[in-house]
């Protein structure tokens, strides 16, 4: 029995966070560090499932704006998330942690199909499960896939590991004066139009009472601290007081 606060978590990893200092793709050093941090968490007995974004390789919306058919661009984005999933699987398995990639798109040569009960069984056996292919539907994002899978597998929380260390009053990348919240409600994120996570994902979590913590995956040790229930990042939950 784990002495940690959460027993089963859904970790959403930003694709862009995998780039390190590069302009695109996967930085080997970054993905190896993230793999080590994930293993530290599974070593404590916490069950971990992961959804990875694809922004380091392909973002459908941007290509649609360039004139490409949106649905086709979105399928390319979903395929990019499968590539990131395989890269993470490789890094994690090299540390000796058994891992399964389940894809929402059928690519049976490289990944299992997504089967909810099978995913849960893998987790119970202590395997890391990586969900590739997003939701399998265009016009969605991997944030929404993370919320959906978290609900399906009965996770205790969605942990969004990204480039910033929480939810801010505005995007801290464009406004360094922005202030970070410690906690705030789903409705406050929606009403204030805070863009750290898309509205569909927030709404799905709100309607199903699934808490979210946004934290920096670039900060060494932050993942284990969040999982241990320490004060790290921003908690988005059902109560209405922000601070
Ligand atoms: N109010 C806000 N608070 C915090 N971050 C914000 C806010 N508004 C916008 N952001 C931006 O949202 C980004 C988080 O989204 P992220 O880059 O993880 O995107 P994603 O679509 O989930 O992942 P990917 O990189 O795979 O596409 C942060 O890097 C930050 O710049
Ligand atoms: O369910 C989904 C998930 C993703 N997409 C497409 O993939 C890219 C990459 O995902 P990010 O969440 O932006 O990292 C996304 O922009 C979509 O184009 C999708 O269509 N459906």
pLDDT score, position 2: 45
Residue 2 lies in a domain: no
Annotation-wise, does 142 bind a ligand?
Answer: yes
Q: Is residue 110, in this structure, part of any structural domain at all? A: yes
Contact 16, 163 (CB under 8 A): yes
Of the listed ligands, the closest to the CA of 19 is 1
What is residue 63's predicted lDDT score, i.e. its pLDDT? 84
**Are the C-beta atoms of 12 and 71 separated by less than 8 Å?**
no
CATH code where residue 80 lies? 3.40.1160.10
DSSP letters, 164-202, are SSS-BSS-TTT-TTPPBPSEEEHHHHHHTT-TTS-HHHH
If one residue of 164, 166, 189, 219 were mutated to test the ligand 1 pocket, choosing by the most ligand atoms within 8 A of its CB, it would be: 164
pTM: 0.95
- Ligand 2: atom nearest CA of 62 is 16
**Range(s) of the domain holding residue 80:** 8-237
Please give the pLDDT value at position 59. 82
Can you give the pLDDT at residue 23?
87
* Residue 151 pLDDT: 98
The answer as to whether 92 is a domain residue is: yes
**Inside any domain, residue 1:** no
Q: For the chain, how many structural domains are there in total?
A: 1
Q: Write down the pLDDT at residue 91.
A: 97
15 belongs to an annotated ligand binding site: yes
Whether 27 has a binding-site annotation, put simply, is no
**For residue 241, what pLDDT is reported?**
63
Question: Ligand 1: distance of its center to the CA of 196 in Å?
Answer: 4
Q: Which atom of ligand 2 is nearest to the CA of 59?
A: 16
Q: Is residue 243 part of a domain?
A: no
Burial (CB count <10 Å: 0-12, 13-18, 19+), residue 169: middle
Distance 57 CA to ligand 2 centre (A): 11
Q: Which ligand is located closest to the Cα atom of residue 134?
A: 2
Pocket of ligand 1 (CB under 6 A): 14-16, 53-55, 141, 143, 162-164, 167-168, 170-173, 194-196
Tell me the ipTM for this assembly.
0.92
Q: Does residue 39 lie in a domain region?
A: yes
Mutate to test the pocket of ligand 2, among 141, 146, 196 (most ligand atoms within 8 A of CB): 141
Tens of pLDDT along the chain (243 residues)?
444 589 999 999 999 989 988 889 999 999 999 999 999 999 999 999 999 999 999 888 888 888 999 999 999 999 999 999 999 999 999 999 999 999 999 999 999 999 999 999 999 999 999 999 999 999 999 999 999 999 999 999 999 999 999 999 999 999 999 999 999 999 999 999 999 999 999 999 999 999 999 999 999 999 999 999 899 999 999 976 667
Q: 134 lies in a domain?
A: yes
pLDDT at residue 223, as a whole number: 97
For residue 242, being part of any structural domain is answered with no
Please give the torsion angle defined by the CA atoms of residues 54, 155, 144 and 118, in that order, rounded to the nearest 10 degrees: 70
């Amino acid at each position: 029995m784990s002495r940690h606060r959460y027993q089963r978590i859904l970790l959403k990893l930003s694709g862009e966070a995998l780039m390190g200092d590069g302009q695109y793709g996967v930085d080997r050093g970054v993905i190896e560090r993230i793999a080590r941090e994930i293993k530290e968490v599974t070593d404590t007995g916490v069950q971990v499932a992961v959804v990875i974004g694809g922004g380091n390789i392909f973002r459908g919306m941007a290509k649609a704006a360039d004139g490409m058919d949106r649905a086709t661009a979105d399928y390319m984005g979903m395929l990019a998330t499968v590539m990131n999933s395989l890269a993470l699987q490789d890094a994690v398995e090299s540390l000796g942690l058994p891992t399964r990639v389940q894809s929402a798109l059928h690519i049976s040569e490289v990944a299992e199909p997504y089967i909810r009960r099978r995913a849960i069984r893998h987790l119970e056996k202590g395997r890391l499960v990586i969900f590739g292919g997003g939701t399998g539907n265009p016009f969605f994002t991997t944030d929404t896939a993370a919320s959906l899978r978290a609900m399906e597998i009965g996770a205790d929380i969605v942990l969004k590991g990204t480039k910033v260390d929480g939810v801010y009053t505005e995007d801290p990348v464009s406004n360094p004066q922005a202030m970070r919240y410690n906690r705030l409600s789903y409705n406050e994120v929606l009403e204030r139009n805070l863009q750290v996570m898309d509205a569909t994902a927030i709404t799905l979590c709100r309607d199903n009472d699934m808490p979210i913590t946004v934290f920096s995956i670039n900060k060494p040790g932050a993942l284990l601290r969040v999982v241990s229930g320490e004060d790290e990042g921003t908690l988005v939950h059902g109560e209405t007081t922000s601070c």
